[in-house]
Structure 1
Amino acid sequence: MDIDLQALLALVVAAAFFALLVVLKRKFKMGFGARTLIATGLGVILGLAFGQAYTYYAVVGTIFANVISAIVVPLLFFSIIASITNLSQTVRLRGIGLKSVLFLELNTLIASILTLLIAVPLGVGRGFSLEGVDYQAEEVPSVTDTIVGLFPKNLADAWANNLVVPIIIFALIVALAYNRLASKEAADEKVSVKPFKSFVDAANKVLGETVSWVVGFTPYAVVALIGRAVGRADASQLVPLLGVLAIAYVVLAIQFFGVESALVAWIGRLSPVRFLRGMVPATVTAFTTQSSVGTIPVTVRSLTENLGVDEDVASFTAGLGANLGMPGCAGMWPTLVAVFAMNALGMPIGPTQVVGIVVLALVVSIGTVGVPGTATITATAMLAAMGLPVETIAVVAPISSIVDMGRTATNVLGAAESSLLVAKTEGLVDERVYEGEESYVLNRKQQGAAA
C-alpha cells in the first residue's frame, strides 16, 4: 500500500488542530459557536498549506456528513408525527403549513429579484462564448413528474436518496390517522393507540439526544471539510469567472445578512443579531457539508435550544425548507446563470424576460432536493424553460462548488428564518430563550436533561 507522505503530514497537522479545539472546549470553556468559527479558519489554513493532500484528514468530514445525513430521515419521520399528534387543532396545523410555504417562497422571490437588480446592470456574462462547450444536460423532470414525486411511493428509496417531502407527507398521513383514532378511542376502548404515541415520543426523544451528541463533533468536521474545499480549488479555472463568483457571493451576503435579518426584525419583531448568532452552528455546518438536508438536525437543534422556537414548528418548517424555497439554489443561482447566458448570447433583458425569470425561479423551487447538486437541476430547468443553451452550466461549473457553500448556508438560514417567523406569528417562540436569559436557559436545559 502506497502512503502519501504529504497527506500523512496534513493528517498530523489536522490532528493538532483537533487537539486545539478540545483544549478550547475543556480548559477555556469556549462555546460551540466560537469553536466552530475558529475551526473554519483552521480549515482554511490547512487547505492553503497542503492543497490537494487532503486524502486522509478529509475522512473525518466525510464520516460526519454521512452520519448526520443518516439521522435526517428517522428524525424527520418521528418528529413530524410527534409534532402533529401534539397539535390538537387541524386548523392550527393548516395555518402553520400555509405560513411555512408562504415564508419559504418569499425568500426565493426576494433572492431572484435581488440577483436581477445586481446582475443585469453589471452585464454578467458579456464577453463569454458558449460555442464549442461539450456538456450533457441534466434530465429535468416534467411538472407532473415533479408533483407525483412529492408523494410517497417507496419509503426505503426516499430514505436512500434523502427525499424529504415524501417522508414528511407520509408522516403527516400517519399522524392524522392517529389523531382520528385517538378522537374515537373514548367511544371504543377495545384497542388503544396510546402505546403508539408513547413509542413515537420516546423515539423522537432518543433521536434528539443522538443529534445533540453527533452535532458536538461539528468543529472537527468543519476543519476537515473546509480544508478539503480550499485544497481542491483550481485557481486556473477560477480566474476567468472571479467576477461572477464575486457577484454570486455579494447577492448571497445581502440575502443572508440583510434580507433574512430584515424579515426577522420587521415581521417577527425580534433581534436579527440574536437570530444570526443562534444559527451559527447550522449555517457553518451547511457551508461545510453543502447539504440542506444533512443540516436539518443541526438546524432544528439551533432553533429550539438557541432561539426558543417550538420543536414541532422547527421540525416541520425546517424539514420542508430543505425541499421548498431554497433562496440560494432556487432563487439566486438559476437567475444568475440565466442572466449570464442571455448576456453571453447578446440577448436583450427586458421586463418580460425579468418577470419570466422570477416566475420560473418560484416554480423550480418546488420539489427540489436539498443535497449537493440541486442547483444544477434548478439552473438546467431555468435554461431549458427559457430556451437558453444548457451548456452554460458547464461554463460556470468551475465556480459552482465554491458558490454551493454559500448557497447552502443561505438556504438553511432562510428555512430557519421561516421557522422562526411561523412560530412567532403562532405565539410559539419562548422569548426568554431567544433573548438569551442565561439563568432561564440553563434551568431549561437542566430540566430537559432530567426529563
Structure 2
Amino acid sequence: MATKNRFKLNLGLKVIIGLILGLIVGYVSKEVGLKLEIVGKAFIQLIQMVIVPLVFPLIVLGITGMHDTKKLGRVAFKTLLYFEIVTTVLIILGILIAKVTNVGGHMHVGAVDTSSLGNLAKGIDFGEFFLSIIPSNIVEAMAQGKLLPIIFFGIFVGLALTSLEDKAKPVITFFEAWLQAMFKVVEYAVSFAPVGVFGFISFSVAKYGIGSLLSLGQFVGITYLSFAVTAFVVFPIIALIFRIPYKELLKRTGDLILLTFTTRSSEASMPLLIHRLEKFGVSRSVTSFVLPTGYSFNLDGASIYISVAIIFLANVYNLPLSLDQIIVIIGLLMLMTKGLAGVPSAVIVVLLAAAKEIGLPAEGVALLLAVDFFVDMGRSALNVVGNSLATVVIAKSEKSFHFNAEDK
C-alpha cells in the first residue's frame, strides 16, 4: 500500500517538474522547444495504444457483471439523462457568467486572419453521426479508435455472453485476465508522463508563446473563472446532493487531472482513471459503461467554453442578443455538444455553427484559435473531473458505490 501511495504522489510531483522545465526550455530556445514535440506525441501515442484493448473488455465485462438487461437499460437511461441535465446547466451558467462580466465588451478587433479555419470540418451531420455509432466494420472502428462504435459492439457482445451463461465462462475469464494485463501496461505507460509533459509544454510555449494569451487575457480569464465555478461550486453541490466525498475524489484523481491539464488530452488519463475509480469504490459494471460514454457525451469543459465564447464574440462585434436568440443558442448547444469526440476540431466546429446561426463572422472564431491552446488545458481537465463525478453519481444511484477510505 505504501508503495502505491508513493507512486501516486511522485507522479504528480514529476509532472509539475516536467511542466516547469518545459516552460523554461520552450521560452529560452524556440528551436529546441519545437523539436521536442515528438516527445509529447510519443507519450500520447503510448497511452492511445492501450485505450481500445482496455475499453472493449471493460464494456463486455461491465455488461456481463450486470447480469440482467434491465439494469443495463436503467444505467444507460440514468447516464444519458444526467449528462444532458448537467451539460445544459453548464451551458446556461457559461452564458450567465459571460453576460454578467460583459466579456469582450470593451475589446476592438481589426482584420483577423481566417486561414486557420480552412481545414476544419464545416458542420455536423447528425444522421451520419448516429449511423456511425453502429459499426459496419468493428475492426476498422477499433483501428481508428472510435469509442462509440466500440461501446455499441461491446454491449452486444456482453449481452450475448450473458445469455450463454456457463458456456461463456472461458471467454469471460480470458477478458478478466486480459484486463489485468492492460492495467499493467497503462501503469508502465503513465510512468513516462513527466517526460511527455516536458515535451508538450516545451513545444507549445515555443510555438505559441505567451503574447497571444496576453492580448485575449480577459476571455481566457473569464473562461477559467467559469471552469472554477463549475469545479468548486456546481460539482460540489451535485456531490452534496448524492452524498459523494467530492474532496476525496479530487484528491484521489488530482495527479490525473494535472496530467490531462498539461497534455491537453483526456485520453492521457482515461485508462488509469478507470482503475482509480474502481479503487475509489465504484463497481466495474458501472465504471466500464459510464466513463467511456462520458468521453463522448459529457464534455463539461466544452459546454462551458462554447457558451462563454459565443457571448464574447457577440460583445466584440457589438451584436446584442435577445432572450429568444439566447434560448436558441442554449437549445443548439444542448444538441451539438453531444458526441464531440467523433468530430475533428469538434469544439471549433460547434462554435462556428453556433456563431453562424446568430450572424457572427468566422473571423471571431479564428481570433479565439490564437488562445485555444491555453483554454484547452482547462477545458480538458474539467472534462475529466466531470466524468469522474458522473461515474460516481450513477454508481451511487445504483447502490454500486462503496467508498473505500483505506485504499488511497
TM-score by length of 2: 0.89
Deviation at 1:274, TM superposition (A): 0.9
Task: Name the counterpart of 2:3.
Answer: none
Q: 1:156 to 1:405 in 2, by over 3 A?
A: farther
Task: Name the counterpart of 1:151.
Answer: 134
- Aligned partners of 2:161, 2:56: CA distance in 1, in Å? 14
Task: Name the counterpart of 2:391.
Answer: 419
SS at match of 1:323: helix
- Structure 1: which amino acid aligns with 2:381? A
SS at match of 2:319: coil
* 8 Å Cα contact 1:57/1:224 also seen in 2: yes
Q: Which runs of 5+ in 2 are unaligned?
A: 1-5
Comparing 239-248 with 254-263, greater Cα deviation is found at 254-263
Deviation at 1:198, TM superposition (A): 2.2
- Structure 1: which amino acid aligns with 2:192? F
* 8 Å Cα contact 1:78/1:204 also seen in 2: yes
CA offset digits 1:314-366 (Å, max 9, x no partner): 2221111111120112x122212221232233222232222222222221122
| Same amino acid, percent of matched pairs | 27
Residue 374 in 1 paired to residue 357 in 2?
A: no
CA offset digits 1:8-33 (Å, max 9, x no partner): xxxxxxxxxxxxxxxxx79xx95433
Residue 291 in 1 paired to residue 270 in 2?
A: no
State which of 261, 278, 282 in structure 1 corresponds to 2:252: 278
Task: Name the counterpart of 2:241.
Answer: 267
Task: Name the counterpart of 2:177.
Answer: 202
- Structure 2: which amino acid aligns with 1:398? A
Higher helix share: 2
Task: Name the counterpart of 1:176.
Answer: 159
Deviation at 1:419, TM superposition (A): 0.5
Comparing 395-404 with 138-147, greater Cα deviation is found at 138-147
- Aligned partners of 2:122, 2:137: CA distance in 1, in Å? 21
* 8 Å Cα contact 1:291/1:371 also seen in 2: no
State which of 308, 313, 316 in structure 1 corresponds to 2:281: 308
- Structure 2: which amino acid aligns with 1:286? T
State which of 313, 325, 343 in structure 2 corresponds to 1:341: 313
Residue 104 in 1 paired to residue 78 in 2?
A: no
TM-score by length of 1: 0.81
Comparing 196-205 with 31-40, greater Cα deviation is found at 31-40
CA offset digits 1:175-198 (Å, max 9, x no partner): 11222232xx6xxxxxx3332222
Q: 1:386 to 1:167 in 2, by over 3 A?
A: farther
Task: Name the counterpart of 2:330.
Answer: 358
Query: 5 Å matches for 1:227-246?
Result: 227-246=202-221
SS at match of 2:266: coil
- Aligned partners of 1:279, 1:176: CA distance in 2, in Å? 31
- Structure 1: which amino acid aligns with 2:179? N
Aligned residue-pair number? 400
- Structure 2: which amino acid aligns with 1:256? A
- Aligned partners of 2:94, 2:394: CA distance in 1, in Å? 26
State which of 181, 189, 195 in structure 2 corresponds to 1:214: 189
Q: 1:408 to 1:111 in 2, by over 3 A?
A: same
State which of 232, 245, 249 in structure 2 corresponds to 1:257: 232
Q: 1:63 to 1:419 in 2, by over 3 A?
A: same
- Aligned partners of 2:342, 2:191: CA distance in 1, in Å? 23
Q: 1:260 to 1:370 in 2, by over 3 A?
A: farther
- Aligned partners of 1:44, 1:302: CA distance in 2, in Å? 29
- Structure 2: which amino acid aligns with 1:350? S
Q: Which has the higher contact order (CA 8 A, sep 6+)?
A: 2
Task: Name the counterpart of 1:446.
Answer: none
Q: 1:130 to 1:421 in 2, by over 3 A?
A: farther
CA RMSD of aligned residues (A): 2.6
Q: 1:161 to 1:344 in 2, by over 3 A?
A: farther
Residue 193 in 1 paired to residue 168 in 2?
A: yes
Task: Name the counterpart of 2:39.
Answer: 60
Deviation at 1:243, TM superposition (A): 1.1
- Aligned partners of 2:90, 2:30: CA distance in 1, in Å? 33
State which of 6, 11, 34 in structure 2 corresponds to 1:32: 11
Deviation at 1:395, TM superposition (A): 1.3
- Structure 2: which amino acid aligns with 1:222? V
State which of 110, 114, 119 in structure 1 corresponds to 2:98: 119
State which of 177, 201, 205 in structure 2 corresponds to 1:226: 201
* Higher alpha-carbon Rg: 1
- Aligned partners of 1:171, 1:222: CA distance in 2, in Å? 32
* 8 Å Cα contact 1:282/1:302 also seen in 2: no
- Structure 2: which amino acid aligns with 1:32? L
- Structure 2: which amino acid aligns with 1:383? A
